[in-house]
Structure 1
Amino acid sequence: MVALASLLSIVVFVVSPYIVQGTTIRALNPDNARLLRFSATHTEWISNTALEYLLEQRHQYLPGSRETVGFVHTSSVNVDGLRNANKALLDGISDEAIRALAGREGFKVGYIDITETYDGTTNHDEAKTNEASRAALPYSAVDPTAHPDYKALAAMVSAQELRNIVGNLSTTFPTRYYRSTNARAPSLWIQSYMSKFTNVSATLFENTFNQPNVISTLTPPGTSNTTPIILLGGHLDSTSQSPSTKAPGADDDASGTAVALHVLSILAKSGWAYTKSKYPIVTHAYAGEEGGLLGSAALAKSYKSAGRSIRGMLNLEMVGWQPETTGSSTITVLTDPNADMSNYMLNVIKAYVPTASVRSTKCGYGCSDHYSFSDAGYPVVCIASYGPNDANLNPNYHRTSDTLDKLNFDRMADFARATLAWIVQVAS
């Protein structure tokens, strides 16, 4: 894999059997391979056959019990063993790619599939991305006393409604795997659910696979297409050991999606967005996250191509599994890729949800959909119950046992309160 940066204009980097040269990336047979970015400086073509094989290996690292979960999350991949067993298949694939694809580091995907979004002319310039996404935050100081309207919004948070949304997504649709035969249905359900709220526009953003993203928008008076937006996101797809037939994905990530949808419905029902916000508030339900952040990568590219400004993006990933906590909930703020955004979110949670146990940890490149928007130069932050390598991470992750009954919706409600707090701060 190669850095898609300006230095590529003067070098040639060979990734057998694919070549990256200048500003052009070509595959000998692009219909049978995917272009994956494993970091800002490492992009590599992987054949579909090798990709499917390596992803299958992840399941051998899935936990069988909570007692083994800490070990499993830090398990290393036997790269040499895989190569020896499948020399022809894995020849020319880097060790880093094999580790990212075959390993299991918590919920992180570990790469972004840019096959459709890379245009062959625009390099990925890490320095410029960092400069844009880490510019001084234009937000007001964290101060709950300056936002007395927050209490009324927080009082509208309903653990039961969060349960209803997660229940619909995880039980009505036995799988939400983006390549399953019924992959489109959960997107249509989300669109229908959001369309019932007054002044919410719910539209589909089609992908190259048959599972569209869902974009739900609240547009305050006086705003336009040039007004920066405040963005919430969670991924609607799911996976498991048997993704095509059963992947309930209650925690991963019906839980995060439910919080994003519920928060937008509160802002609609309360009328807050029309009287207090100077910015449109948008919720994305991303498709194909488990395939390499496919849906969010396509959306981030479309926003960047249109010159659309994003005031801030908050991603919610696996927020329902809460077996133990010293507070009303455990909320983990992922520290990357934007430290300033993460610090701001930490301060928001501590000020507005003081009963929560707040922690932080590193997520890792490509761990969830916020990385698609960070790579496009937007300011992002992600919150979760636990980090990718935490011992308490949901042991049902990517299993058919990731079901509704395992989640704690009272504790999940704290994530909705924290999200509302972040919005009232960022919108001021």
Structure 2
Amino acid sequence: MKSFSVLLSFAVIAAASPLSAEQAPLGAGLMTSYPGFSLDLNALRLVQIEGQAPAWMTELEKIQAKAQGIKFFDITETQDLGASARLQTKPSFPSLNATKKVRPILKTLSTKGPKENLKKFSSFRTRHYRSDTGKQSQQWLLSKISQITKESASKSLQQLITLTEFPHSWGQNTIIVKINGSSSDDGVVVIGAHQDSTNMWPFLPAPGADDDGSGSVTILESYRALIAADFHPERNVEFHWYSAEEGGLLGSQAVAKDYETRSVNVLAMSQFDMTAWVKRGTQEEVGIITDFTDAGLTKFNKELVELYLDIPYVETKCGYACSDHASWGKAGYPSSFTIESSFENSNKNIHSQNDRIDISDEFSFTHMLEFSKLAVAFAIELGGWSDSKAA
């Protein structure tokens, strides 16, 4: 396997946000530890960059690569992810036919919950996956999901819902909520976001309001509205909040590997990563990622936007391994990714102390609500609705 220094010389620098004036320079004088962190900068990790053989690099070299806009999978624990991908069969996606079920729920979506939840979620010093506050934020999110389930779901629906932690060695666990389907169809519909945050220099504060606090509370609001409407799906519908996306898609790779190993029939996975930013002077749009995604599912997402949202979509690209949908694609499952805008118009405050709710009026909770609509429509149109199970 090649060394990182050789690999870096050949790597294509992707269009990720570069270090800005507000982000910490990766030079001398920066703290190399912080109370509550278990991050060893000299630890070796196996990393995969597009078009290159996997290479060993240190955690520090991973940080430096990320700062240069290089996107990668950290495959140290998931080297065989996708080994049986050829066995997966990709389904066709149906014509939209659930408007009578979807539209009433869209009217119940609110910015109230997302505002309250994101204020709390972004108040942790950092949600870095190797920090104590990252573990605390995960436990807070778990308790909030549990509270919403108890307050919003009917007794019959609560019996169909399981809330679990998918454990990881670094301590911040992925959260998986499953609404069990009523039919014999073993298909699974997955809606995801990542819960962790990072500063470009990880020991510094990282409120992560947009990246990806926004996506996390966006799908949480969708979940609340669905269960409040007594949504009894025909197929299994799952909501995932991944750990350690910022470390190289570690959490989602672990989950996707588990599902692949167990031959779980994932019909579709939709990722929500950054849903809040509307750049001043630009048209409000939904960015639909067209590279490294499933073409059929991406087309389906476009149709959902056109039918159910109040704003148009714009096609955009984000490169290799740019969010958790990539883990599912690598495992052979159809995956898609929607983002707040075209990639070039997205929030440039991410990975810094300035990724805050109050940094600008460009941070919009009404914009986030459009993505909550999308997740609701995705769940119902693909998960189905069992009227016979309604309470």
Common fold by TM > 0.5 = yes
Q: Deviations over 1:36-66 (max 9, x none)?
A: 1213x53322231xx414524xxxxxxxxxx
What aligned pairs does 1:269-288 form with structure 2 within 5 A after superposition? 269-272=228-231, 274=232, 277-288=233-244
Task: Give the structure 1 partner of residue 110 of structure 2.
Answer: 158
Task: Give the structure 2 partner of residue 167 of structure 1.
Answer: 119
- How far residue 115 of structure 1 moved from its aligned partner, in angstroms, is 0.4
- How far residue 201 of structure 1 moved from its aligned partner, in angstroms, is 2.4
Structure having the higher Rg: 1
Contact 1:212 1:287 in 2 (8 A): yes
Q: Deviations over 1:66-109 (max 9, x none)?
A: xxxxxxxxxxxxxxxxxxxxxxxxxxxxxxxxxx54422xxxx7
What aligned pairs does 1:15-414 form with structure 2 within 5 A after superposition? 15-16=2-3, 32-39=43-50, 41-48=51-58, 51-53=59-61, 55-56=63-64, 101-104=66-69, 110-119=71-80, 124=83, 132=88, 135-137=90-92, 139-143=93-97, 146-171=98-123, 173-196=124-147, 197=149, 198=153, 199=158, 200-222=161-183, 227-272=186-231, 274=232, 277-324=233-280, 329-337=284-292, 338-353=294-309, 355-388=310-343, 390=344, 392-405=345-358, 406=360, 407-414=363-370
| Alpha-carbon separation, structure 1, partners of 2:190 and 2:221 | 14
Contact 2:82 2:331 in 1 (8 A): no
The 3-state SS of whatever aligns with 1:398 is: coil
CA gap of 1:396–1:366, structure 2 versus 1, over 3 A, is same
Give the share of equivalent positions with the same residue, in percent. Answer: 27
| Alpha-carbon separation, structure 2, partners of 1:326 and 1:420 | 26
- How far residue 331 of structure 1 moved from its aligned partner, in angstroms, is 0.5
Output the amino acid matched with 2:209.
A
CA gap of 1:352–1:189, structure 2 versus 1, over 3 A, is same
Output the amino acid matched with 1:45.
A
CA gap of 1:372–1:54, structure 2 versus 1, over 3 A, is closer
| Alpha-carbon separation, structure 1, partners of 2:373 and 2:99 | 14
Aligned-residue Cα RMSD (Å) equals 2.4
After TM superposition, the structure 1 stretch with the greater mean CA deviation from structure 2, 336-345 or 203-212, is: 336-345
- How far residue 271 of structure 1 moved from its aligned partner, in angstroms, is 0.4
Output the amino acid matched with 2:47.
L
CA gap of 1:297–1:281, structure 2 versus 1, over 3 A, is same
Contact 2:288 2:313 in 1 (8 A): yes
User: Could you list the runs of 5+ residues in structure 2 that have no partner in the other structure?
Assistant: 6-41, 385-391
CA gap of 1:123–1:163, structure 2 versus 1, over 3 A, is closer
CA gap of 1:351–1:324, structure 2 versus 1, over 3 A, is farther
The 3-state SS of whatever aligns with 1:233 is: strand
User: Could you list the runs of 5+ residues in structure 1 that have no partner in the other structure?
Assistant: 1-13, 19-30, 57-99
CA gap of 1:132–1:159, structure 2 versus 1, over 3 A, is same
| Alpha-carbon separation, structure 2, partners of 1:387 and 1:43 | 30
- How far residue 222 of structure 1 moved from its aligned partner, in angstroms, is 4.5
Q: Which runs of 4+ in 1 moved over 4 A?
A: 122-125
- How far residue 424 of structure 1 moved from its aligned partner, in angstroms, is 2.0
Output the amino acid matched with 2:316.
T
- How far residue 324 of structure 1 moved from its aligned partner, in angstroms, is 3.8
1:421 aligns with 2:377: yes
TM-score normalised to the size of structure 1?
0.73
| Alpha-carbon separation, structure 2, partners of 1:289 and 1:373 | 13
